[in-house]
């Protein structure tokens, strides 16, 4: 850690909620996903995209509160700026969910 850098600014602290949800939900959902015949890599990409969207959407968007602290702006100012990113993220999530080739083409090149 660099001098003057607080532990709250370190990477694990910023990604904490995402990692916790991945560690909690993955063992629960993987058996269900296997039974459904879904590719596990595809499932991992979808799950990661969903969880990252959850980090910046209301009501518990931790990244919104981080932005509020960094920019010293009220949440009511930050949310309108985040709205376009939410829309784009949801469109991308829909694409990678319903068109698996977009997220799996590199793995298929390897085979």
**Structure confidence at residue 16 as a pLDDT band (50, 70, 90):** low
**Whether pLDDT at 13 is above 90:** no
Global confidence as pTM = 0.75
**Whether pLDDT at 7 is above 50:** no
Separate counts of helices (H) and strands (E) for the chain: 6, 0
Q: How far apart are CA 81 and CA 88, in angstroms?
A: 13
Q: How far is CA 32 from CA 28, 35, 39, 47, 104, in A?
A: 8, 5, 11, 13, 20
Consecutive H or E run containing 24: helix 16-36
Are 35 and 28 in contact by the 8 Å Cβ rule? The answer is: no
Per-domain residue ranges of the chain: 7-110
**In this predicted model, what pLDDT tens digit does every residue of 70-108 receive, in sequence order?**
999 998 888 888 889 999 999 999 999 999 999 898 888
């Amino acid at each position: 850690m660099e001098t003057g850098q607080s532990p709250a600014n370190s990477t694990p602290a910023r990604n904490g909620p995402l990692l916790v949800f991945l560690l909690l939900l993955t063992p629960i959902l993987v058996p269900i996903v296997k039974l459904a015949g879904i590719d596990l890599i595809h499932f991992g990409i979808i799950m990661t995209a969903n969880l990252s969207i959850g980090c910046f959407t209301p009501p518990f968007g931790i990244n919104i509160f981080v932005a509020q602290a960094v920019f010293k702006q009220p949440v009511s100012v930050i949310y309108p700026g985040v709205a376009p990113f939410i829309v784009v993220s949801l469109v991308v999530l829909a694409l990678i969910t319903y068109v698996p080739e977009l997220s799996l083409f590199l793995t298929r090149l390897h085979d």
